[in-house]
Chain A
Amino acid sequence: MKRLLDYSITLVILLILSFYLPRLIPGDPVSAIFGEEAIANMSEDMIADIRNKMGLDRPLWFQFLIFLRNIFRGDLGYSYYYREYVIDIIRQSFPWTLSLIGVSLSISSILGFLLGLNASYRVGSNYDRVSFIAMVAISSLPEFLVGIILLVIFAINLKILPASFSLSPSIFKAFLLPCISLICVDFPNSYITTRNLAVSIVKERFIQTAKAKLKSDRRIKYVHIGRNVLYPVITRFLLRLSHLFFGVIFIEVAFSYPGIGMTLYTSIIHRDYAFVQICVLLMSFIIVTINMITEYLFAGGRT
């Protein structure tokens, strides 16, 4: 319950920040929210209308209430760069992002789980040592670097996969490279987590018992040890899910994948802040909510 309170305070802070940040910039909040280009193209009436709608002549707390009311009504504003409602943009791009994260996170979790168990069984061997260092090295790279390295190798040098989403003939081929790079980003984490958890279980007595009962190595590895690390591995899955919502932005930008990160990037470049404001709020809400659910479900397992 205590943690639940923390997370609710966090959500309130996020709301206040996303409301207050555009108003923090010196100058007109209208131009901060919609971008100067959009303002230059608007007529006086439109600007006056927006001011009236946002309540900019009212006190700050009243503006905040209007902001909250609009969000809870689902009225997230209008993007003047895309010429669409923000909610429609999100509705179009969000499934792309979600499918990318979902597919790659599932694959990397399963792979990391299997290979991590395998490594924990051979702890101390050269194979384990080398792969552990390699995994630490890869996991310390930022997402965009992994994406660019794969882009240079597969799309520029070998020319077997398309570099950019719009240039590709088939969706599947274009989906492959972002997916592989997101797997590469997440796999080391999954591997290291599983391995470290499993190493402590390999030493347990019941593994010796299982060995004495002449169970096969494979059975001991994937059933006896695997079952015991499954719980924290699922926690890791959920935590990484929230973590990747930030990392996926960079992968999408590197491959110009039409997800929410790429849309965010485009609107940052064109200073279309109406979308940025809502997008940041949405992503941080997703992250905090997933973390909250994880903590609620698995608090006993982790501490």
Chain B
Amino acid sequence: MIGLPITYSMLQRYEVFMKPSGLHILGTNEAGQDMLFLVLSGTLNSIILSVLVVLGTNIISTILGSLMALYGKVFERLFLRIIDIFIALPSNILIMAISIYIRPNMLWFSLIVLIFGWAQGTRLIWSYTRKIVAKDYINAVRLFGGGNLYILYKHIIREIMPLLLVIALQSARRTILIESSLSFLGITNPEVVSLGKLINNSLQFLYLDVWKWCLVPPLLSLVFILVSLGILGIYTEGKVDRRLKVDRDIGP
């Protein structure tokens, strides 16, 4: 497409296992590829993947979750049932099993993660939207002839914005976690550069002295991404929780 995701065959080859120097700040790996560039492209690929999944999860959970609360009745009950079943599925193992068999490329992989990850967010949005729908001003809108889609677009999306941030952080974290774990096992597409794959590759050279610049950079980069997402997630969750509580105190 536009050269994304970055694959191993795109990278230039130099001498193998060069020590870090001015030209190659982190040295080169066993195939002679520049380590710094590998780490950066692995990080970029993880970010692209998580952006795809986050977009998908947020769009599905916003639309489906709020429509469930707005329309109610059979529609709501049916989807609640489906959501409960999806939450009960052991998603990690199933993502792994499907990847083992079909070795998906990035787009398919994001779709698989999305299939097993949309339910939690949708449930969260649904339970919050249900509280909003019960408020008086929504009844007023209805009285003035505002339809469900109008309420969704004009009122509910604005109210659930902070929740969408929480869901986005959660699903980004989960996506990078599962992607790096599976690529560590070598289950994902072998061509695409990924941090998990870099870490697994450098494990073979643990007893040579090269692991310091082969293993540490991808490891630290992955740690940095995941820890920052985790702390950010906890922080925003606390904020949003507090905000929801305030809402509840003011509301009916």
Extra A-B contacts (7), CB below 8 Å, given A145-B222, A280-B93? A14-B89, A136-B234, A140-B231, A144-B199, A284-B90, A287-B93, A288-B88
Instruction: Check B88–A145 contact: CB distance below 8 A.
Output: no
Closest 10 CB pairs of A and B: A140-B230, A287-B90, A280-B97, A10-B88, A137-B227, A284-B90, A246-B92, A6-B84, A284-B93, A140-B226
Q: Tell me if B73 counts as interface (CB < 8 A to partner A).
A: no
Q: Name A147's closest neighbour in chain B (CB-CB).
A: B184
Flag the segment in A18-26, A44-52, A111-119, A198-206 that touches B: A18-26
Instruction: Check B85–A145 contact: CB distance below 8 A.
Output: no
Q: B: which residues have CB within 8 A of A?
A: 81, 84-85, 88-90, 92-94, 96-98, 100-102, 173, 177, 180-181, 184-187, 196, 199, 203, 206-207, 211, 215, 219, 222-223, 226-227, 229-231, 233-234
Contacts of A292 in B (CB 8 A): 88
Contacts of B98 in A (CB 8 A): 21
Q: How far is the CA of A152 from the CA of B85 in the complex (A)?
A: 40
Q: Can you sample 21 A-B contacts with CB below 8 Å?
A: A7-B88, A9-B85, A17-B94, A18-B97, A25-B102, A139-B230, A140-B227, A140-B229, A140-B231, A142-B177, A142-B181, A145-B180, A148-B203, A149-B219, A156-B207, A273-B100, A283-B93, A284-B89, A284-B90, A284-B94, A288-B88
Partner of A6, one of B88, B219, B222: B88
Q: How far is the CA of A140 from the CA of B180 in the complex (A)?
A: 13
Contacts of A280 in B (CB 8 A): 93-94, 96-97, 100
Q: Tell me if A163 counts as interface (CB < 8 A to partner B).
A: yes
CB distance from B207 to the nearest CB of A (A): 8
CB distance from A29 to the nearest CB of B (A): 11
CB distance from A164 to the nearest CB of B (A): 10
Q: How far is the CA of A254 from the CA of B185 in the complex (A)?
A: 10
Contacts of A141 in B (CB 8 A): 223, 226-227
CB distance from B110 to the nearest CB of A (A): 18
Question: How many inter-chain residue pairs (CB < 8 Å) link A and B?
Answer: 117
With contacts A141-B227, A276-B100 taken as known, whether A6 is within 8 angstroms of B184 at the C-beta atoms is no
Instruction: Check A268–B187 contact: CB distance below 8 A.
Output: yes
Contacts of B227 in A (CB 8 A): 137, 140-141
Contacts of B203 in A (CB 8 A): 148, 254
Digitize A249-263: 1 where CB-to-B-CB distance is under 8 Å, 0 elsewhere.
110011000000000
CB distance from A209 to the nearest CB of B (A): 27
Q: How far is the CA of A193 from the CA of B162 in the complex (A)?
A: 24
Q: How far is the CA of A283 from the CA of B89 in the complex (A)?
A: 12
Q: Tell me if A186 counts as interface (CB < 8 A to partner B).
A: no
A14-63: which residues lie under 8 A (CB-CB) from chain B?
Answer: 14, 17-18, 21-22, 24-25, 32
Q: How far is the CA of A24 from the CA of B101 in the complex (A)?
A: 8
Contacts of A148 in B (CB 8 A): 199, 203, 215, 219
Instruction: Check B223–A10 contact: CB distance below 8 A.
Output: no
Instruction: Check A10–B100 contact: CB distance below 8 A.
Output: no
Contacts of A25 in B (CB 8 A): 101-102
Q: How far is the CA of A157 from the CA of B111 in the complex (A)?
A: 41
Q: Name B216's closest neighbour in chain A (CB-CB).
A: A152
CB distance from A303 to the nearest CB of B (A): 12
Q: Which of A22, A136, A143 has the most CB of B within 10 A?
A: A136
Instruction: Check B81–A6 contact: CB distance below 8 A.
Output: yes
Contacts of B231 in A (CB 8 A): 133, 136-137, 140
Q: How far is the CA of A151 from the CA of B215 in the complex (A)?
A: 12
Instruction: Check B184–A144 contact: CB distance below 8 A.
Output: yes
Instruction: Check B186–A21 contact: CB distance below 8 A.
Output: no
CB distance from B124 to the nearest CB of A (A): 15
Contacts of B206 in A (CB 8 A): 151-152, 156, 163
Instruction: Check A145–B223 contact: CB distance below 8 A.
Output: yes
Q: How far is the CA of A283 from the CA of B90 in the complex (A)?
A: 9
Q: Name B97's closest neighbour in chain A (CB-CB).
A: A280
CB distance from A101 to the nearest CB of B (A): 15
Contacts of B196 in A (CB 8 A): 144
Q: Name B199's closest neighbour in chain A (CB-CB).
A: A148
Q: How far is the CA of A137 from the CA of B161 in the complex (A)?
A: 25
CB distance from B187 to the nearest CB of A (A): 7
Instruction: Check B93–A246 contact: CB distance below 8 A.
Output: yes
Contacts of A21 in B (CB 8 A): 97-98, 101
Q: Tell me if A269 counts as interface (CB < 8 A to partner B).
A: yes
Q: How far is the CA of A246 from the CA of B226 in the complex (A)?
A: 19
Q: How far is the CA of A280 from the CA of B100 in the complex (A)?
A: 10
Q: Name B176's closest neighbour in chain A (CB-CB).
A: A142
Q: Tell me if A219 counts as interface (CB < 8 A to partner B).
A: no
Q: How far is the CA of A7 from the CA of B89 in the complex (A)?
A: 8
Q: Tell me if A3 counts as interface (CB < 8 A to partner B).
A: yes
Contacts of A6 in B (CB 8 A): 81, 84-85, 88
